[in-house]
Amino acid sequence: MRKKKFLYVIPGIIILSILFSNFVSDAKDLHTVQLIYDGDTIKLADSRRIRFIGINAPEIEHKSLNGKIIRAEPFGDQAKNYTKTLLNRKKVFLELDKEKQDRYGRVLAYVFLPDGTFINKKLIEEGLAYCLPNRTNNRYEKTLLKAQKGAMHSKKGLWKTLKKTSKQKVIGNTLSKRFHTLKCPFGKKIAAKNRKVFTQKWDAFYNGFAPCKKCARP
Ligand SMILES: [Zn+2]
């Protein structure tokens, strides 16, 4: 009789320990946001800096390496404030992709609230960031581009001022998914088989290409 009872105890212990380990790992995966640097970069209470994957928010005013003040880009402050409203002092969980860190030591992540709100996507939906495709970290590339198309159609944020009718041609690189103005030296270097000409910036964005940092802002 005693032996039989014991047989029930063992599976019980196994089930409880599985449940408990799930609980512990969930609790461990939640992190408190301590600081918002700008629309797409935050700091956690454990002091890690997190850069959101797959998007780029406009810059806020900052100092360059040589101490020069670089003025905020349009919607830079709005993007920062939006991220602050969503995340300040909140708990988040992170989802990483293949490449875990960038060259500045920042953790590359998809950021979620405990209720499942996908922060990277929220910024795109509000037109406060544009898609920044990455060949390695591309798990949500389609999801983010779909959200951007919605924001572009509704002329939210960045897309308010980007004219659909401007006839400024840009050159896209189908490998890097970046686009350049006709004058940009990087644009001129793209191999013929990877070149894609767009008759306007709007089309390049709409097809998921992001602007070159040197030559083409939205
Ligand atoms: Zn360029």
For residue 160 the two structure tokens come to 């308010």
Residue 140: domain span = 25-146
Ligand 1 center–CA 209 separation, angstroms: 12
Residues with CB under 5 A from ligand 1 (ion): 180, 184, 186, 212, 214-215
Ligand 1 center–CA 187 separation, angstroms: 5
Which residues does the annotation mark as catalytic? 51, 59, 106
Report which residue type is found at 158: L
Query: What pTM was computed for the model?
Result: 0.85
**Is 109 in the same domain as 197?**
no
Contacts of 196 (CB under 8 A, 6+ apart): 171, 172, 173, 174, 209
Ligand 1 center–CA 55 separation, angstroms: 18
Ligand 1 center–CA 184 separation, angstroms: 5
Give φ, ψ of 188 to 5 degrees. -70, -25
**Is 63 in the same domain as 111?**
yes
> What's the CATH code of the domain at 77?
2.40.50.90
Task: Mark which of 90, 112, 146 sits at the end of a domain.
Answer: 146
Per residue of the chain (218 residues), give pLDDT as tens.
555 665 666 566 555 555 555 444 444 589 999 999 999 999 999 999 999 999 999 999 999 888 999 999 999 999 999 999 999 999 999 999 999 999 999 999 999 999 999 999 999 999 999 999 999 999 999 999 999 999 999 999 999 988 776 678 999 999 999 999 999 999 999 999 999 999 999 999 999 999 998 887 66
Report which residue type is found at 207: N
How many independent structural domains does the chain possess?
A: 2
- Contact 58/73 with Cβ under 8 angstroms? yes
Q: How far is CA 109 from CA 29, 95, 98, 217, in A?
A: 13, 6, 10, 24
> For residue range 172-204, what is the model confidence (pLDDT) as tens digits?
999 999 999 999 999 999 999 999 999 999 999
